[in-house]
Structure 1
Amino acid sequence: MRSQISILSAVLIGFTVSACAPKVVVNKEAALQRAPSLVALLPADYPSGIRKERIDLINDLARSELQSGGYTVLDRNIVNTTCLDSGCSQRAELVKRYGVEGFFKVEVESISRNNFLAGYLNSIDGSLNLSGSDGREIFEVSHIETERGGLLFNSGQLFQGVISQVKNSGEDASFGNLASRFVRTIVNKIPLEKPSPQQTASAELKIGEIKQEKIGPLLVQLCAAGTAGQSASLVINRVKSNLREVAPGNYCGAYNVYDLGQDPQAVVEMRSALGATARAQAALNLPNECTLDSGVELVRENKRNKLLLAGSSQAPASRFVIYRSEDKSGPFQKVAEVKSASWTDRAAAGGEFYQVVCIDSSGKRSLPFAAVERSIIGSNRTGSSNA
């Protein structure tokens, strides 16, 4: 077993995390001439102390990624009823009865979840291996996936505060994103050419009703009805995230309304293990909070910085929260909260950068707006392009 990542050391050096590239080890004596088209995904191995639902999520994501990569993955119920142990000593039966050509297994070494006063630092350390019917390992891809965030974002975006644990089908959205990136990385590093799946008509796949529900201040859960037992994903502006099948024919996931960008386009995509696809447009649940119609204008006079604010007449702001940084990329810190349409920074030394959030009477926060010197900008949905 590989040693666990030192979380404490990463914290002491100021959240400077550098994840190593995935490590691939191939057993040349057991090398395959081609990628197996029909595989079984065995139950994952993991140490005690890790919640089983987190392991189940990682295995579900691995199944989805393998299917998206062209592999036909044997039904999990067949695997669960045939294999009496995690190593599946009954492999010969799966080979004989179903024609399984390879056995994938996810092994999780550790899951670290660390919340601090100033942020959070999380990691998943594990591997994906493929073995044959005789149990001999063909290759292993190992990787440590990390994420960090909280009060100080390196991107310069407005900070969220200590991460909130928003539940989504038994898993918080933050862990789901981390697990998705971990699985996508190890599957993409499989040292085999992708199999060529047999094509079937896309009409066999159906996507039905798409529902959305707000599950947190920043998160919206999207659930789509569709053909059971398939791989489903939500594609927003060409960025794909997995939808988990939480019940037969019901696929759910979550998206962050602050990450949508301007004029977001969303599609629910469903893919069978044999390569068939179906797509349906999804109307995203955009926030309806106060905005800064005319943006934020910054005027510098005699080493004093004055911000001119103009809220929306349709959704008026009850107050403005102002954040300042000495660097355009952040981090930004809160310096004032005002109700007037202008504010003067009397403590400015010159050259500072600002972001502003407006809050309406119900307490809903807008997206962050970056102040532009001696000019006026329009609405910025992400708050990052000008940050």
Structure 2
Amino acid sequence: MLRAALVGAGGIALGGSLAACATPSAAGAGRPAVMIWDLFSGGDGALMQEMVAAVAAENPDIRLDSTTLAWGSPYYTKLAMASSGGRPPEAAVMHMSRLAGYAPGGLLEPFDLDALAALGVRQEHFAPAVWEKAQYDGQLYALPLDTHPYILFNNPELVGQAGLTGADGKLDYDAISGTDGFLAAGRAVAEVTGETGVGWGYLRDPAGCWRMFWGLYTQNGGGYDLVPGRKAELDVDAAVEVFEFLQEMVDGTVAARNQDGGAASGRFMSGRAGMMFSGEWDLPMFRDALPEVGATPFPTIFDQPANYADSHAFVLPRQAHADPAAREATYRVLAGLLKQSMTWASAGHIPAYQPVVEQDAYQELTPQRDYARAAEIAVFDPDVWFSGGGSDFQNRMGDAMTDTLSGEAPPRTAVDRILREMDRLLSQPNPA
């Protein structure tokens, strides 16, 4: 009933007309069935359909169905309900930042590393930071498809006029490093644009606020101790220093005051800002306006290189009665999708399967190749059940920062509010 309802609500069936609802004879009797849930819409959804179709063509002995659902809390709630009922899809896409809310509760099953290795998928094929995040209790619970980091885009012409490019004509990463270096670079670009140097919209974008803070906090050596039932512990001094820097950045010259994401993007695409903090998923939009748009990993503003990121990954929801043939087919399908991720890279995502990144075809992609190393310094959300993409956690964290970012409250206020919100979440039980 759940599968039929979800397909009726907008799911896409591939490898057979509405195969999820068809009778065995109509859908292909004798072929193992693999259903995958994903949360990709728009351009990402079209690319995933293309990849699924390619894998289906390579495996005609498998009945492969793909259902797309709206992402966010409803998606993760449906996934938890299906897993707890023992009748989930064979595989599903999950943000790895949500893994801590699902693996400990027995809603997911670990991957068999030997089965993956037999298909050419091994640990050495992934960036260490990404592989580590995919683990729980010493086992692999997520098979990473990509890394999607929060990066710095740039307008090559404007940063060149500001004297920030190297011999290759690209933005010099060293020229934007360090707190003083980055602020000076922002002011130099502002002199060229006549307005601001950097686009960053923090109003009405709590997720963007959190990504910015958590990446910088990690760069500044900040750690955390978030244990359910106990008070949250952060490095208060490191967090305060981050907000002191952000207040300096949002000064009306380096970056505009009181700006939302749409306005920041508009400034960047119209040449009124020469650099732009955003997720790599915005590459298609920026490239439409600036065909030569450049990009780098997140600048090393504090001492330790770190780049906030998340990862789309495949997981195996818990099956009450797993079918060995369907499980073997699922591994083949997922390995095939990883090897198709050159298609995925066209939207800006960094393929997690490094043999794809090493291909000549990927190394010809600009600016993707220029920020691919962001996967090597990726830092993810804290490992607690309430964190992650599409969660209320990021909304609460972002809201706690707004007054400080707008200059209406001191840096310590944001830190205190963040700790209070974390305490509230730590006092609540994991509903999954």
TM-score when scaled to structure 1? 0.22
TM-score when scaled to structure 2? 0.20
Structure having the higher Rg? 1
Structure number with greater CO (CA < 8 Å, separation at least 6) is: 2
- Decide which structure has greater strand share: 1
- Decide which structure has greater helix share: 2
